[in-house]
Amino acid sequence: FLPKAKLLTDLALFLEPLKTAHRTPTSDDLAKAIREKQLFLAFQPQVDLQHALQQDQIIGVEALARWQNPERGVLYPDSFISLAEQSGLMIPLTWYVIELALQQQAQWLFQGWNLNLSINITAAFIQEEGMLEVFDKLTQQHQAVLNRLTLELTETVGVECLSYASHVLNALRDRGCKIASDDFGTGHSSLTQLYRLPFNELKIDRSFVSLIDQDQDALVITESIIDLGKRLGLTVVAEGIETAAQHAMLVEAGCAVGQGYFISRPLTAGAFSAWMCERSQSAITAQNESMLAR
């Protein structure tokens, strides 16, 4: 079993950097991809950075869209998310992603894994008329565990839409979902949004996190965001942790949750299962060793 697990992880690691396509996909290609269900999800683990005993224990995963293109292989969000936005396909794409995520949640629950699942949504999605009704139907259909779902808002909401957006996000919170402010620090009005929208979680953008071990200003900004989030009662998540030094600095700065290549790359569902099994195996080995050492 273990060699196979290793193989799946290696395969996922191998696929991840192939982020270039031969020809830029068109909106027709993407519409077809949605119709013909060519999208799938990769899952990136999010771990606890703080509690000494549980340190690096998995608390959830972020679902990231991937496109299995018949001609070009696996395509990554940088080659289709803005295309979806420009061509009015973002809403159907988001429903599709949510459906895939809910199917995966049901399967993990069946396996006994009660993981929190984070899904990326956009401003247009929360402003879509009738969105909550469809959301209710879909989540009921899949018997979703709503208090184990986080919706990450990845895009800046226009000032004129803040009160409506706030109403919708509150309605989602009433259903048990958590709401995250994604890529915090990069938007035009991050602080206004933080003030006006009912977030539970704040994700520090990778552009800061990736520099904290090299650049004093990036560290000061990151520490200040952690402090700000804590004082507002939010869970602070650092994204894009790539090195042991960054990891250690975030632990030291009191950041609650971490995500990044240092912990794990985004993995296919199969590779994620293997990763989970390998980790629990090594946790048991470590436990046995510490018992023998006593």
Residues that bind Mg ion (CB under 5 A): 120, 152, 182-183, 203, 206, 239
Considering beta carbons, is residue 241 or 250 the nearer one to ligand C2E? 241
Determine the interface stretch with ligand C2E among 28-36, 49-57, 103-111, 114-122 (rule: CB under 6 A).
114-122
Considering only residues 2 to 41 of the shown chain, the ones binding ligand C2E according to CB under 6 A are none
Tell me if 104 contacts ligand C2E by CB under 6 A: no
Angle, in degrees to the nearest 10, between helices 216-231 and 244-252: 40
> Shortest CA distance to 115 belongs to which of 269, 254, 253, 7?
269
Considering beta carbons, is residue 53 or 239 the nearer one to ligand C2E? 239
Radius of gyration of the chain (CA): 19
Output the smallest distance, CB 127 to ligand C2E, in A: 14
What are the DSSP E strand ranges found in the chain?
Answer: 39-48, 58-69, 73-75, 116-121, 149-153, 178-184, 201-204, 235-238, 257-258
First to last CA, the chain: 31
User: Which one of 15, 65, 115, 168 is in contact with ligand C2E (CB under 6 A)?
Assistant: 65
Considering only residues 191 to 250 of the shown chain, the ones binding ligand C2E according to CB under 6 A are 206, 239-242
Considering beta carbons, is residue 95 or 113 the nearer one to ligand C2E? 95
Would you say 40 and 272 are in contact if contact means Cβ atoms under 8 Å apart? Answer: no
Q: What residue 128 binds from Mg ion, ligand C2E, none (CB within 5 to 8 A, per partner kind)?
A: none
Q: Cα 139 to the chain's mean position, in Å?
A: 19
Rounded CA-CA distance 210/219 in Å is 10
User: Which one of 27, 77, 79, 278 is in contact with ligand C2E (CB under 6 A)?
Assistant: 77
Residue 87: what are its φ and ψ, rounded to 5°?
Answer: -105, 15
Interacting residues with ligand C2E (CB under 6 A): 44, 64-65, 76-78, 81, 94, 97, 120-122, 152, 154, 182-183, 206, 239-242, 260-261, 266
